[in-house]
Amino acid sequence: MVQHCCSADLSANLDASVAGIRKAAAQGAQLVVLQELHRGLYFCQRERVEEFDLAETIPGPSSERLGALARELGIVIVASLFEKRATGLYHNTAVVIETDGEIAGIYRKMHIPDDPGFYEKFYFTPGDLGFTPLNTSVGRLGVLVCWDQWFPEAARLMAMAGAELLIYPTAIGWAPADEADEKQRQRDAWVTIQRSHAVANGLPVVSVNRVGHESDPEGGDGIDFWGHSFVAGPQGEFLKVLGEEEEVAVVGLDRRRSEDVRRIWPFLRDRRIDHYTDLLKLYRD
Q: Which positions are catalytic? A: 36, 109, 146
Report the half-sphere exposure of 191 (CA within 13 A, side-chain side): 22
User: With helix as H, strand as E and coil as C, how does the chain read?
Assistant: CEECCCCCCHHHHHHHHHHHHHHHHHCCCCEEEECCCCCCCCHHHCCCHHHHHHCECCCCHHHHHHHHHHHHHCCEEEEEEEEEEECCEEEEEEEEECCCCCEEEEEECCCCCEECCEEHHHCCCCCCCCCCCEEECCEEEEECCHHHHHCHHHHHHHHHCCCCEEEEECCCEECCCCCHHHHHHHHHHHHHHHHHHHHHHCCCEEEECCEEEECCCCCCCCEEEECCCEEECCCCCEEEECCCCCEECCCCCCCHHHHHHHHHCCCCCCCCHHHCHHHHCCCCC
Closest CA to 93 of 66, 125, 134: 125
Residue 212's beta-bridge partner residues? 225
The angle formed by the CA atoms of residues 111, 117 and 121, to the nearest 5 degrees, is 35
